[in-house]
Amino acid sequence: MNKKIYDTVVSGNADNNIKYSDFQNLIIDLGFEHRRQRGSHIMFFHKELGEFMNIQRDGSKAKAYQVEQLRNFILKHNL
């Protein structure tokens, strides 16, 4: 897991500045599995916790509200 990206997401200081590829890799590192893709929307599912995460690109960056959703998930489940 990329500790720097993890710390950036958890801190909430750069929600608009997370590279999409780093964001997607972090989601996978946290235990999510790719379920399906429809157009630009990619759906991930965490088997152990029964949670879904839907992401999409904003150019080369992750969408800020989705970074916030992941942060809330991390804090909720103490990951």
CA distances in angstroms from 34 to 11, 12, 41, 53, listed in the order given: 25, 25, 11, 10
Helix (H, G, I), strand (E, B) or coil at 48: coil
What is the model's pTM?
0.93
Q: How far is the C-alpha of 34 from the C-alpha of 45, rounded, in Å?
A: 7
pLDDT band at 12 (very low <50, low <70, confident <90, very high): very high
pLDDT in the model for residue 28: 97
32-72 per-position pLDDT tens digit? 999 999 999 999 999 999 999 999 999 999 999 999 999 99
Q: How far is the C-alpha of 26 from the C-alpha of 22, rounded, in Å?
A: 6
Q: Across residues 20-38, what is the average pLDDT?
A: 96
